[in-house]
Structure 1
Amino acid sequence: MEINKVTIHDIAKALSIDSSTISRALNDSPRVKKKTKDRILHKAQEMGYQRNLLASNLRKNITNTIGVVVPRISRHFFSSVIQGVEETAYQAGYNVIICQSLEQLEREKKIIETLMANRVDGVLISISMETMDYSHMEALKNGGVPLVFFDRHCNIPDTNNVLIDDFKGGFDATQHLIVSGCKNIVHFSGPQALGIYKKRLEGYKAALSENNLPFREEYVISSRLMEQDGIENVKKIVTDNLDFDGIFSANDVAAIGAIKYLTNNNVKIPEDVAIVGFSNEPISTVINPALTTIDQPGFEMGKTATDLLLKYIKNQNGIKKSQTIIMDSNLIERQSSKKVRARNI
């Protein structure tokens, strides 16, 4: 059964008042007397009238909606970012459309097309592992849609970014393993096309160099950093007979895969191999032994990225220059790396 929506013309007919006056009253115009306005509002509520905010906003060329694109909602870091985004957007009167690329470029492109078709006021995005073609991002930019990258970003000139200090995170993780007595540290890296994994690798290299330890290409293994990748990576270094006593993984998920494989094969952690992850997923406290990790402030990143996006949407103070905000990270030590300190550094 089709339900007919109440219009301003229905209210006008019920009250024998001109529809233009009804419209002004519903928009809280000072041109309508309070007594008349109260009467109109009461009748509108009584008849179940609902304003068509979408049509109203489109007439003003705004939708009060922002799009958020993440690789995977299931990852704790990204869900924390979304919480920060939603809280900040809600307080500013904006709705949020949440999409996930599932680490697929083509899916990401279709999402951007859909967001543009729905005329969102701005977009927050952390790109997929496959994203090396930036044409869809250029389309957003050329279409005048404000865009802020967070965590993972594109090398496009004059774009806004909110990022973690990935170099420092990689350095701190590796330095921690060295201080714990490790001398042969394997690094599980993500795709080097992504800036975050490049920076974490650079931090790893810098810590080795500072401690006069050699960098060896064969000790760096790149993958998509899923749990199974962590298992396969450990199998590879064991098969290749690499002498290793530490692992720095560019995310927690692959590190957990490594822990499971090693413990199932009677390798003691951290006595034989110390392990550090990155991102502080909730499971990192549950796995045995609990995983030392680099914590990322997801909620704060979501708030900061949304604040930055809203400034550009509103063009406060005539903002023209792009901004890159770097947020700090910190190491959380747990049982997976608590060896007896062998070096005083």
Structure 2
Amino acid sequence: MSKRPVSLKTLAQALNVSISTVSRALRNHPDIGPELTQRVQQLAQELRYSPNPLAMGLLKNATRIIGVIVPALVTHFFASIISGIESVAIEHGYYIVIRCSYESFEKEQECLANLLQLRVEGIIMCLSQETKTYAHFDALLAAGTPLVFFDRVCRSTEVPTVVVDNQAAACRITRHFVAQGRRRIAHIAGPPALNISQERVAGYREGLAAEGLAFDAQLLVPSDLSAESATAATQQLLALPQPPDAIFGVNDTTAFAAMKEIKRQGLRIPADVALVGFTDEYHATVVEPMLTSVMHPTFEMGRTAALLFLEQAQGQVPPRQMVLATQLVVRESSGQKS
């Protein structure tokens, strides 16, 4: 069995002094005589005592730990955002603890409660797709606990948020399709309750209007962001009497699923159906044809969320809403209509 770590209590018992005396001696406090200070420090060295930052933080009510909640872990999107958060945390002497909601509202509530039990100093998070009510954040806001939302957000008048220019990006995609000769432009959207879904649908409709194309409700199909849901949406779209000649997926996962189904049905990309995704995952460059997608500044989003957290942690400041710019990366999947 491994030995338990040496604690202040261990040192105090060995020297028959109080824990506070040991603590002050280790810090060379002037109230502790030089002889006792030397004895304490010598014993600490012999026993290889190392301070426990979590325990010290609990004593000071400042654990230097940030709780991070994401809907999924096994995606480049969230991994890159977490890396951005951690880079700022390390620079400022913080640790991060990551929990995953697995797109479940119930799990999101559980993650939040667990992190608060760990005495984190605050939370940086992205909402699950099932989250439609926000009362579980009331206690944090009432207590002044730092809270920051990124990508999928809510209560933006009360909480700092980091998003991208979803509406402008979706409008850009739609108009790009038109420039390539497309007229039946479909959108596989996300869950209606999410801000990213609402904003990308708004941009899609804005782009249609700007190009003088009428909105057709049959060409707007919601999904739950999964490949399975996107496959079903693509089948629904391609079965229409007048199927689309272009499809815009709410994220790259939906676009990859649509690509697979379009090929399965013997159609050509982009000759028969053009395709654009959103996020620009690594796989966009290795599929055939390479996927046109919106490049999402994920690492920057993480860093920005962490900097907003620090603003809140260092003092009560008005919540800021940060909107990051995206870029449409044009590749083979959205080429000119033949």
TM-score bin, normalised by smaller chain: over 0.9
CA distance in 2, matches of 1:28, 1:311: 33
2:96 is the alignment partner of 1:99:
no
Counterpart residue type for residue 95 of structure 1:
Y
The correspondence of residues 129-278 of structure 1 with structure 2, limited to 5 A, is: 129-155=129-155, 157-278=157-278
Q: What is the SS of the residue equivalent to 1:67?
A: strand
* C-alpha contact 1:11 1:44 (8 A) present in aligned 2: yes
Identity fraction in percent: 35
> What's the counterpart of residue 72 of structure 1?
72
Deviation at 1:19, TM superposition (A): 6.2
CA distance in 2, matches of 1:297, 1:38: 53
Residues 128-165 of structure 1, C-alpha deviation per residue, up to 9 Å, x if partnerless? 11101211122222232110000000136411101111
CA distance in 1, matches of 2:10, 2:234: 71
Q: Which moved more, 1:254-263 or 1:32-41?
A: 32-41
CA distance in 2, matches of 1:244, 1:145: 48
CA distance in 1, matches of 2:11, 2:112: 40
CA distance in 1, matches of 2:275, 2:132: 30
Q: 1:182 to 1:74 in 2, by over 3 A?
A: same
Deviation at 1:314, TM superposition (A): 1.8
CA distance in 1, matches of 2:165, 2:34: 56
Residue from 321, 326, 332 that aligns with 1:324: 321
Residues 39-66 of structure 1, C-alpha deviation per residue, up to 9 Å, x if partnerless? 7545412212132333321121111111
Deviation at 1:7, TM superposition (A): 4.1
2:285 is the alignment partner of 1:288:
no
**Structure 2: runs of 5+ lacking an equivalent:** none
The count of aligned residue pairs is: 338
CA distance in 1, matches of 2:53, 2:231: 52
Q: What is the SS of the residue equivalent to 1:247?
A: strand
CA distance in 2, matches of 1:337, 1:142: 48
> What's the counterpart of residue 331 of structure 2?
334
Q: Which moved more, 1:150-159 or 1:220-229?
A: 150-159
Q: What is the SS of the residue equivalent to 1:272?
A: coil
> What's the counterpart of residue 308 of structure 2?
308
CA distance in 2, matches of 1:5, 1:288: 55
Q: 1:313 to 1:30 in 2, by over 3 A?
A: farther
Q: 1:140 to 1:266 in 2, by over 3 A?
A: same
Q: What is the SS of the residue equivalent to 1:310?
A: helix
CA distance in 1, matches of 2:57, 2:71: 30
Counterpart residue type for residue 311 of structure 1:
E
* C-alpha contact 2:156 2:321 (8 A) present in aligned 1: no
CA distance in 2, matches of 1:34, 1:272: 84
Q: 1:19 to 1:213 in 2, by over 3 A?
A: closer
CA distance in 2, matches of 1:13, 1:161: 49
Deviation at 1:240, TM superposition (A): 2.5
* C-alpha contact 2:311 2:317 (8 A) present in aligned 1: no
* C-alpha contact 1:83 1:302 (8 A) present in aligned 2: yes
**Structure 1: runs of 5+ lacking an equivalent:** none
* C-alpha contact 1:188 1:225 (8 A) present in aligned 2: no
Residues 279-321 of structure 1, C-alpha deviation per residue, up to 9 Å, x if partnerless? 1111111111111000111111101100110121121xxx431
Q: 1:18 to 1:58 in 2, by over 3 A?
A: closer
Q: Which moved more, 1:45-54 or 1:209-218?
A: 45-54
Q: What is the SS of the residue equivalent to 2:161?
A: strand
Instruction: Give me the CA root mean square deviation.
Output: 2.3
CA distance in 2, matches of 1:20, 1:143: 30
Deviation at 1:38, TM superposition (A): 6.9
Deviation at 1:267, TM superposition (A): 0.7
Q: Which moved more, 1:150-159 or 1:108-117?
A: 150-159
Q: 1:241 to 1:155 in 2, by over 3 A?
A: farther
> What's the counterpart of residue 27 of structure 1?
27
Q: What is the SS of the residue equivalent to 1:69?
A: strand
> What's the counterpart of residue 87 of structure 1?
87
Deviation at 1:30, TM superposition (A): 6.1
Q: What is the SS of the residue equivalent to 1:56?
A: helix
